[in-house]
A = this chain, B = another copy of it.
Amino acid sequence: MEESSGNSRRIEVVFSPAMFPVYFDNKDVAVVVIDVLRATSAICAAFDAGVQEVIPVATVEEAQAYKDMGYLVGAERKAEIVPGFDFGNSPLTFKDTDKFKDKSIVLTTTNGTRAIEAAQDATHLLIGAFTNLDAVCKKLEELDKDVLLFCAGWKDRFNLEDTLLAGAITKKLSSENLRFSNLSDSALASISLYNEAEGNLYQYLGNSSHRRRLSSLNLEEDIIYCLTPNQTEVVPVLHENKLVTKIPELTYS
């Protein structure tokens, strides 16, 4: 009883960067940035491959400046690698672990890195993907703050795949931990959608705009990877404008 009353943690889902300022009225929250296809899935894959840090930048110009300094730099626009850069936002890039182990890399993407920038002042900023679903939930339980699940969307529009992950996180937190019982309408809607899609995310997303966009570019292998839960334990967090998995004060597994 006590857990579900005055001390309950609020979960809200933000469906678009255009709505983020409305929900971000208190900075002392844990924000999870979600860009399932494909930025946040790629960031988790990068750390799984041994990358030391990921420097997210919002513009191609900033990315180019790092490239000129000799960094390994990823840049994606319109779902494709920007010409002249080392990689885009495909998580499968990071299968080549020798290339990335212990490196600092830089990344700019259409939606994901913009969302990271928008939320950079939050007390905690975590990177969420289906691939690290359980690990993110565990971290949110430890942090014990109100939670904003921030869907990067597609050019400020709502998208389904990010919403489904928000639903999966909300469902897990609210069913397993009584402290997370204060659900906004957006959280309730996300759970409803996830309940319908659970078990066959790929099929459920068959008509979604983004899956159609990627399928037309022959990225089915990427999509399947990004929709497969719990492939890694890493939970990247933002610290001094860089994504890391270990920070001095706190240790993230």
Q: Which residues of A contact B (CB under 8 A)?
A: 12-13, 15-16, 18-19, 21-23, 154-160, 163, 183-186, 188-189, 192-193, 196, 207-210
- Measured CB to CB, the nearest residue on chain B to A163 is B189
Chain B residues within an 8 Å CB radius of A15: 15-16, 19, 158
A208 to B207, CA, bound (A): 28
| Copies of this chain in the oligomer | 2
From B21, B157, B188, B192, give the contact of A192 (CB < 8 A). Answer: B192
Kindly list chain B residues whose C-beta atoms are within 8 Å of the C-beta of A196: 192, 196
Across-interface contacts of A13 in B (CB, < 8 A): 158
Q: CA A6 – CA B160 in complex, angstroms? A: 24
A162 to chain B, nearest CB (A): 9
A155 touches B185 (CB 8 A): no
Provide 14 A-B residue pairs closer than 8 Å at the C-beta atoms, listed in order of the A residue: A13-B158, A16-B19, A18-B19, A18-B22, A19-B19, A22-B157, A23-B157, A157-B185, A160-B185, A183-B207, A189-B193, A192-B192, A192-B193, A193-B193
Chain B positions within 8 Å of A19 at CB level: 15-16, 18-19, 156-158
User: Which of B18, B21, B158, B185 is close to A189, meaning CB atoms less than 8 Å apart?
Assistant: B158
**Nearest Cβ distance between residue A65 and chain B, in whole angstroms?**
29
- With both beta carbons as reference points, the residue of chain B lying nearest to A197 in the complex is identified as B192
- Shortest Cβ distance from residue A174 to the other chain B in the assembled complex, whole angstroms: 11
Chain B residue at minimum C-beta to C-beta distance from A211: B185
- Shortest Cβ distance from A158 into chain B, in angstroms? 4
In the assembled complex, the CB of A125 is this many whole angstroms from the nearest CB of chain B, namely 21
**Smallest CB separation, A21 vs chain B (Å):** 8
Most buried by B among A22, A23, A193: A22
Q: Measured between alpha carbons, how far is A184 from B188 in the docked complex, in Å?
A: 21
